Structure 1
């Protein structure tokens, strides 16, 4: 049975003002609902706590499990562990509007909230930019340890003088004339 986006709706109109708890399974059929090539599938459990107050709805998402990704180096599929906790708030107002990344405004007559996009976004944001199969992670760590970055914004007096002397010998005479324009 294929899941539909309606499976992720929470009816808020008839809820009493208190905490409510929900659980959603995010499996391969969930990820097929979204167009994206980052996450191939997965098996996660999303626990959602909804604290309904008179003028504010506060959702706390606790998502744990793993997603299936494609390694950027070897193109092999692998499971990547995900553990996410996020908070999202909705307040009541005159019109529906997105007031920020984690704050929406809805009209008092809104009957339900669909949280599927929020679940997908939170999981997607937990995926690293560089997706490496676990067998390559040790190699990456070793490479990072061996790399040495040296940065200096000051030059020693001798280096500056030596550089100037060498540069003077190779300077085009037209540039030499410009030095005297101070």
Structure 2
């Protein structure tokens, strides 16, 4: 990803209160990243920062559409997304990622690069199964196929008789 200060948040100059930021993410934003997941889009991000002396809480609301490729037909289509995410940033002795949504930064950190977080949140809002809208209302051919697992050792055509079983078990069946 190229460095772009347009999506950096200068936290050093902000007072301890609530701040609001708005970002419009378009093709230029998605081209910054070396990826094929999202080639284009038009997403509006509202970021609310609650800043205290020990913690920064970012509430991110995303709304818009991104260009996707249908898994079934390979046609391009616009996928609507809507997501709400929260990022917690605390101060510590070194910079590190503590959890998926928890970062630690040093007290002398001036700016927080936010572009990667916005891109990741958009990626998380995408459905796993990408279907063009014309396929989304079609029922699955076999709805139980993905959730039902059947295991059997019998071959088709085998009878259900116990006589075909291993003869070593017959002696055990007679024990009472």
Query: Distance between the aligned counterparts of 1:177 and 1:97, measured in 2?
Result: 66
Gaps of 5+ in 1: 152-164
Question: Displacement of 1:4 after TM fit?
Answer: 5.0
Q: Secondary structure at the match of 2:33?
A: coil
Question: Displacement of 1:45 after TM fit?
Answer: 0.8
Q: Secondary structure at the match of 1:67?
A: strand
Q: Secondary structure at the match of 1:128?
A: coil
User: Closer, same or farther in 2 for the Cα pair 1:38/1:178, shift >3 Å?
Assistant: farther
User: Closer, same or farther in 2 for the Cα pair 1:170/1:64, shift >3 Å?
Assistant: same
- Give the TM-score normalised by structure 1: 0.80
Q: Secondary structure at the match of 1:57?
A: strand
> What does 1:99-114 align with in structure 2 at a 5 Å threshold?
99-114=98-113
Name 2:122's counterpart in structure 1: 123
Which of residues 146, 165, 173 is equivalent to 1:171? 165
User: Closer, same or farther in 2 for the Cα pair 1:168/1:57, shift >3 Å?
Assistant: same
Gaps of 5+ in 2: 149-158
> What does 1:14-53 align with in structure 2 at a 5 Å threshold?
14-53=13-52
Name 1:143's counterpart in structure 2: 140
Q: Secondary structure at the match of 1:54?
A: coil
Name 2:81's counterpart in structure 1: 82
Q: Secondary structure at the match of 2:140?
A: helix
User: Closer, same or farther in 2 for the Cα pair 1:106/1:125, shift >3 Å?
Assistant: same
Question: Displacement of 1:67 after TM fit?
Answer: 0.4
Name 1:133's counterpart in structure 2: 132
User: Closer, same or farther in 2 for the Cα pair 1:27/1:181, shift >3 Å?
Assistant: farther
Name 2:151's counterpart in structure 1: none
Larger radius of gyration: 1
Question: Displacement of 1:172 after TM fit?
Answer: 4.3
Report the number of matched residues: 164
Q: Secondary structure at the match of 2:38?
A: coil
